[in-house]
């Protein structure tokens, strides 16, 4: 495997993530459109579907907020890399920003100086995990600010397990129409302060059509809020709630809620 192969794979993944939604996400939106009874909500969902179709046809980003590039990378333990993987990913982001093109969103937190290429201190965010095998698997998830800004984390007490649902619903209620609903909700339960947030974001990589009973219970509670498409009312405030768990300290219960807009963008690439 060579440096340029990773660079080009990153560009390809970002291009796909921004111009076409994964099949499961698209199916969830189509189902909502077919089942929605609120006329205003149906019009909004129809506009979303037309936007998705146009983005794929024209090969342009489906949203002006092309987000911050977040990568989940799995490196096979038998894979031999004789180059800097991080630098290859960073270079891929630079190239993708210029070629797709993507809006430069990465700024210094204090000076607000824009790097101009979606790279900078800790950006792109790269999460690396060692796994079995000899493959390199990368999943990119562009994360826009409208949804990220209304996400939340709470250090709950071990005795508050029964309050997890309340926190999830409260977070969505406080978000209202800001994250461009119908939304996808990732929930991280356990781990550490930062680990819970990572779990919540990682949950959004799962198939949104496959939820267990607990997740369906949370989804029902969220949709009872009636916020609806674009915050104007309707049956579907969220299309999925996905939960990931991690063992935590005996004296803590971190819970993170990472909200994603209707454009639950992600793309995967595997290199050998």
| Tokens matching residue 44 | 């909004």
Locus of tokens 């076409």: 20
CA distances from 126 to 77, 138, 172, 241 (A): 18, 10, 27, 24
Distance CA 59, CA 16 (A): 9
Domains in the chain: boundaries: 3-271
Residues of the chain with pLDDT under 50: none
Distance CA 97, CA 197 (A): 26
pTM here?
A: 0.94
| Tokens matching residue 32 | 């909502």
Tell me what pLDDT residue 1 has.
Answer: 81
Distance CA 192, CA 109 (A): 24
Tell me what pLDDT residue 272 has.
Answer: 86
Distance CA 272, CA 261 (A): 33
Nearest to 108, CA basis, from 116, 98, 100: 116
Q: What pLDDT digit, counting tens, does each position of 222-256 carry?
A: 999 999 999 999 999 999 999 999 999 999 999 99
């Amino acid at each position: 495997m060579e440096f340029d192969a990773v660079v080009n794979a990153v560009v390809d993944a970002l291009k796909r993530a921004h111009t076409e939604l994964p099949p499961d996400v698209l199916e969830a939106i189509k189902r909502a459109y077919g089942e929605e009874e609120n006329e205003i909500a149906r019009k909004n969902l129809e506009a979303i579907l037309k936007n998705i179709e146009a983005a794929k046809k024209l090969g342009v980003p489906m949203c002006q907020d092309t987000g911050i590039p977040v990568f989940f990378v799995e490196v096979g333990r038998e894979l031999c890399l004789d180059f800097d993987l991080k630098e290859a990913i960073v270079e891929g982001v630079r190239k993708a920003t210029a070629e797709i093109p993507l809006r430069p969103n990465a700024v210094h937190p204090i000076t607000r100086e824009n790097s101009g290429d979606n790279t900078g201190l800790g950006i792109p965010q790269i999460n690396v995990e060692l796994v079995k095998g000899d493959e390199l698997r990368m999943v990119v998830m562009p994360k826009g600010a409208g949804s990220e800004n209304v996400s939340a984390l709470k250090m709950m007490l071990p005795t508050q397990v029964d309050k997890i649902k309340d926190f999830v619903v409260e977070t969505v209620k406080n978000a209202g129409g800001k994250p461009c609903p119908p939304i996808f909700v990732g929930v991280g339960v356990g781990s550490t302060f930062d680990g819970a947030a990572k779990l919540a974001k990682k949950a959004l990589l799962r198939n949104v059509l496959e939820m267990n009973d607990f997740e369906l219970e949370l989804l029902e509670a969220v949709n009872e809020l009636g916020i609806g498409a674009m915050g104007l009312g309707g049956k579907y405030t969220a299309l999925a709630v996905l939960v990931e768990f991690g063992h935590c300290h005996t004296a803590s219960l971190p819970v993170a809620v990472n909200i994603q807009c209707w454009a639950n963008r992600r793309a995967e690439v595997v290199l050998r």
